[in-house]
Structure 1
Amino acid sequence: MRRKLMPLAASGLVAAILLSGCAAGGSGKASGGGGGKGKVTLTFLTFETPNLTAKYWDDAIARASAKVPGVTIKKLVAPSVDRVGYAKQLAASGQLPDIMIGVSPNGFAQAGQLASWSDGQLSDFVSPHSNPIGGKIYQLPYDTQPTPLVYYNKSDFTAAGIAAPPKTYQDLLDDCAKLKTKGINPLVVGGGGKDTWADMYPLIGAVATDTYRPEPDWLAQKAKGKAKFTDPAFTKAAQKVSDLAKKGYIDRAGLSRSYADDEQAFRANKGAMYPMGSWFAASADAKKPPFDVGVFAWPSDDGSLVMPSYTGGGMSVSSKAPDVALAQKWALAFMLDKTSLDASVKTDGSIIALKDYTPPAGMGPVYTATLDLYQQAVKQHAIVDAFSVESGDDSLPAGVADKAAAGVADLINGKKTAQEFGAFLDSEWAKADE
């Protein structure tokens, strides 16, 4: 899921643990002060998806708690995919959870609500200084997610006479035309209900190739007032999305579909290509569609490999937790647990960003192809940020990513031109900075 940014699945229950899904943060009492040695009750905000079930979380919580005696966890489950919004609601009422996973630290860290991680605590991570805020790290960078890749129906490609996935952007347009001629919808794109973020993936891909590849620090330049969304560097990418919709290559009716319905539409052969985060690989392997699935990176104009990715998604700890040291110790125990990491790979397609980590044997073909493609991008130094998914100092102001998703719907529906979309984002950024 979107900036999910966090994953994992289920194994056997290792230890019994008291779980409660009703209370919110900061209510526990520690007998050990701040030293991490006492008994404490900590609230933990997580989320559930078809991949990451309640059992997955309960089992993972139990394993971490078995390694950190003295901790009792009260599990909180976000009611929607908008975990940041829910965490803000809790914080506004003085109930920020003691531990959170997959919640962007932006806003919380600047307000002094989160405890930072030390270099020693981050020593096991491949990219220990991902997404700094004021030079400090507030979220464990445990998982890398290419966002998006393009998963495709090999049978549809064969039926349209397409011998190989597109390498250049013109190849993509040519393939879309061939598919359309055969009566096959080229691109499956959703964004209905609360899942407006699901319409962002074509834009994220285009921004990666047309904006971030030539100017990797473009968003930082925007923050300094040296760039605008109405500049050609950005509107070229937005125009590509608009043109895809105008040509009928993106089915506008699909914007009413939720994230889950969007995936089901691809599975039900309602479109040949599915721009989505790398987590879809696990779903495709776990429940194979009635066709073989391939994967490629959103193509650049010249065919160079470019891959938008995000590394982060791990745990953050409240600076007001009843025992910050013990909360951080528990969070690390959870994040570094091999069983949980393997489960995350198997159920959510995670690319674990920990030193010396090896995925479990026997992973399926879609995950294997996804991982191989990512590793190619790493070797070619082709990784760029994923627009709207960034966190840390060089990211969109709080709330602007959601506004961008609403704007993309207008871009696809023809209600906004690329230039108007850029002006809309500039305006929303200005409002967020007020």
Structure 2
Amino acid sequence: MRTRASGRTRGALGAVAITTVLALAGCAAGADSAESDGPKGNVTLTFLTFETPNLTARYWDDAIARASAKVPGVTIKKLVAPSADRVGYAKQLAASGQLPDVMIAVSPNGFAQAGQLAPWTDAELTEFIAPHSNPIDGKIYQLPYNTQPTPLVYYNKSDFAAAGITAPPKTYAELLDASAKLKAKGINPFVVGGGGKDTWADMFPLIGAVATDTYKQTPDWLSRKAAGQTKFTDPAFTKPVAKVADLAKNGYIDTAGLSRPYTDVEQAFRDNKGAMYPMGSWFAASADADKPGFDVGVFAWPSDDGSLVVPAYTGGGMTVSAKAPKVDLAKKWALAFMLDKTSLDNSVKTDGSIIALKNYTPPPGMGPVYTATANLYQQAVRENAIVDAFSIETGDGSMPPGLPDKAAAGVADLITGRKNADQFGSFLDQEWAKANR
């Protein structure tokens, strides 16, 4: 799933690394409506969630029941987003006066500014390691319960060995060299997606490149853009964009992959249709739970000088409608859901979550891909190498609502050669201006 972050302190992320493990982001699919098995009460709340191969209907139903048992007087009606675009679906519901009372992993951007969400107080955020992540006008509207590196690069160790690549690349030049060696052996270097409603799945190479080339030098670059101090046509931004265009031009990104929806992208990697798979850290749990026919390794998108840079996001939790019946009770239920140990452990085991809660201890016996992912993230925190993930930010200084989807459409044009780096930058500047009119 796509979640979004900004306003995060690196000290807080350090605490996450020391005391927690890896985060989810999953992706939405399907549509459903059901009531929880919790006790019938004097208020019914609608709860918008999502389902993935990892986070099934059973996962959500069981978690809803546990939270409801802790908050007597609440009955939950479950709503399942029909696609990965949960924000778009929530907007549709809001436009008809049906904004869900509680939502999970839905960006508050746009809803909060319109007065549609209830802010969380400091007293309600005492259990969270980074309680002031993603502020909007100084207020917190989404519970910051997990951290997810987005992306890391998962790779097929057998393909690397076949191409004579003895170690994962640390510099960008080494990444290009590895890509050339793979292509020479008839192995597609990168698996990408972006088909159907999952256009966001093409963004990961660009997010990685912006992290190493733009945010590494200027961590608040997007905030400066919001203040009118930078442009997407600036060389600081077009340089990483050009890298992605060149990867495609050199045949290292298979353009046919742009027709694949998210689930098919993962399956393509599992089916050995490409050696490298830039993806959020949630893939780690999937790789351990259903091991492909090859060993999977992981590395960070390489920078020019080889220094470690990892884009990541802290957030993803519950938001509560300002017009929910009994807002205080809705918030109490949302907190009960978020703080439930069983639900958190299940999220770690099924979706590779890094839980950003004080005193949380992850379940033992996690698999090798998850462990490698967690170790890489923790290394980045120790080296002060965490930056925001471009287009996944929320809060002050983030992209205007709807612009990340425009960016994903632009990346498809970039990969197919319909836009070059300068044209892509101009496109984003124009779309930014339209979104702020």
TM-score by length of 1: 0.93
3-state SS, counterpart of residue 428 of structure 2: helix
3-state SS, counterpart of residue 120 of structure 1: helix
3-state SS, counterpart of residue 277 of structure 2: strand
Residue of structure 2 in register with 1:48 after alignment: 51
Structure 1 residue 82 corresponds to structure 2 residue 85: yes
Matching residue within 371, 376, 380 for 1:377: 380
Q: Is the 8 A contact 2:24 2:147 kept in 1?
A: no
Structure 1 residue 145 corresponds to structure 2 residue 156: no
State the one-letter code of the partner of 2:33.
Answer: G
In structure 2, runs of 5+ residues without a counterpart are 5-22, 27-31
Structure 1 residue 61 corresponds to structure 2 residue 64: yes
Residue of structure 2 in register with 1:344 after alignment: 347
3-state SS, counterpart of residue 146 of structure 2: strand
Rounded to whole Å, the distance in 1 between the matches of 2:158 and 2:304 is: 26
Residue of structure 2 in register with 1:175 after alignment: 178
Q: CA deviation at 1:355?
A: 1.1
Residue of structure 2 in register with 1:309 after alignment: 312
Q: CA deviation at 1:93?
A: 0.7
Larger displacement relative to structure 2 (38-47 or 334-343): 38-47
Q: Is the 8 A contact 1:7 1:344 kept in 2?
A: no
1:380-423 CA-to-partner distances (Å, cap 9, x unmatched) read 11000000000001210010000000000000000000000000
1:180-226 CA-to-partner distances (Å, cap 9, x unmatched) read 11110000011111111000000000000000010001000000111
1:139-184 CA-to-partner distances (Å, cap 9, x unmatched) read 0000101000000000000001111100000010000011011110
Residue of structure 1 in register with 2:265 after alignment: 262
Residue of structure 2 in register with 1:357 after alignment: 360
Rounded to whole Å, the distance in 2 between the matches of 1:357 and 1:298 is: 29
Structure 1 residue 288 corresponds to structure 2 residue 281: no
What aligned pairs does 1:9-48 form with structure 2 within 5 A after superposition? 21=33, 39-48=42-51
Distance 1:303 1:157, change over 3 A: same
Structure 1 residue 432 corresponds to structure 2 residue 435: yes
Q: Is the 8 A contact 2:24 2:148 kept in 1?
A: no
Residue of structure 1 in register with 2:217 after alignment: 214
Residue of structure 2 in register with 1:366 after alignment: 369
Residue of structure 1 in register with 2:16 after alignment: none
Runs of 4+ in 1 over 4 A off after TM superposition: 4-8
Rounded to whole Å, the distance in 1 between the matches of 2:42 and 2:389 is: 41
Rounded to whole Å, the distance in 2 between the matches of 1:226 and 1:75 is: 43
1:81-110 CA-to-partner distances (Å, cap 9, x unmatched) read 100000001101111000000000001000
3-state SS, counterpart of residue 177 of structure 2: helix
Matching residue within 198, 202, 206 for 1:199: 202
Q: CA deviation at 1:356?
A: 1.4
Rounded to whole Å, the distance in 1 between the matches of 2:124 and 2:203 is: 34
* Residue-pair matches, total: 410
Residue of structure 2 in register with 1:401 after alignment: 404
State the one-letter code of the partner of 1:21.
Answer: S
1:1-20 CA-to-partner distances (Å, cap 9, x unmatched) read 23288569xxxxxxxxxxx8
3-state SS, counterpart of residue 431 of structure 1: helix
3-state SS, counterpart of residue 115 of structure 1: coil
Rounded to whole Å, the distance in 2 between the matches of 1:7 and 1:216 is: 22
